[in-house]
Structure 1
């Protein structure tokens, strides 16, 4: 969203405060009209020639832009980040339970952080366990970070498809 003096086109297609069509107007005339009415000149699409612009009550344009950016961030972010903790010496039944839990979270649109805490000499098994879990979750999610091994633990973040 481009506003006021940021608009560089020489002519614009202008709409008034109530949505009435004012036709093709020079940029300077549109800015003067916006100042007189106490409004902002807003252009949503610079790709057309002349670009369509509209007059918006002062301050509303900024609120609209912030709301639009917030919706874009929300759509892009993918849900909340939920953590599932595992141990390298996990039983098959427990592994299946954690796998179902991760699949459910991914289907609900949440991101999942799979973390493994190892004790003693189990550190090598942590990465293998995460690779197995990622292979089993390939149908519902994809990893966004590589497997991060630190000390005696390992973690990976998985986002829904």
Structure 2
């Protein structure tokens, strides 16, 4: 990002503080206007001639650039998978707590792996419990895989919308 005196072009296409087009202006005049309004002159792109420049509030340009970098870094990171463990005989209050926790995780952009530990003939109960949870969390995420019953656990993974 090129700002103020670092802009070497002789003429710039100037965009005002409120987004209005001020036309083609010599760089010296644009800098004088920026100082008069107590704002920064920021060059958006050097690819065109004359380069488009904006009048942006002092310090706001750096803040916007920093936010843009943070967003790009956040998009690069792969979503994490967080695991929530349950039992088929879970109390209603505890189930509600797990449901809220899963909703928060999905809203945060991470995937949730719901795992129900089973023993004996609790497979049907565990599957019904997971189906209810998936239905309740459908506003926040969708199933990546079906409900998988394997040995001592039943699980399903929900990906954020």
Normalization by structure 1: what TM-score? 0.52
Quickly say closer, same or farther: Cα 1:71–1:82, change in 2 above 3 A.
closer
User: Equivalents in 2 of 1:93, 1:145: separation in Å?
Assistant: 27
| Partner residue in 2 for 1:134 | 134
- How many pairs align? 92
**1:115 counterpart = 2:115:** yes
Q: Which sections of structure 1, spanning at least 5 residues, go unmatched? A: 1-18, 22-69
Normalization by structure 2: what TM-score? 0.52
User: Equivalents in 2 of 1:117, 1:138: separation in Å?
Assistant: 22
Return the offset for 1:121. Answer: 2.1
| Partner residue in 1 for 2:95 | 95
User: Equivalents in 2 of 1:71, 1:81: separation in Å?
Assistant: 16
| Partner residue in 2 for 1:65 | none
| Partner residue in 2 for 1:54 | none
User: Equivalents in 2 of 1:120, 1:157: separation in Å?
Assistant: 23
Return the offset for 1:71. Answer: 8.5
User: Equivalents in 2 of 1:154, 1:134: separation in Å?
Assistant: 13
Mean CA deviation greater in 112-121 or 89-98 = 112-121
User: Equivalents in 2 of 1:149, 1:110: separation in Å?
Assistant: 23
Q: Which sections of structure 2, spanning at least 5 residues, go unmatched? A: 1-45, 49-72
SS at match of 1:121: coil
Quickly say closer, same or farther: Cα 1:122–1:137, change in 2 above 3 A.
same
User: Per-residue displacement from partner, 1:87-130 (whole Å, max 9, x unpaired)?
Assistant: 00011100000000000000111100001111222122111111
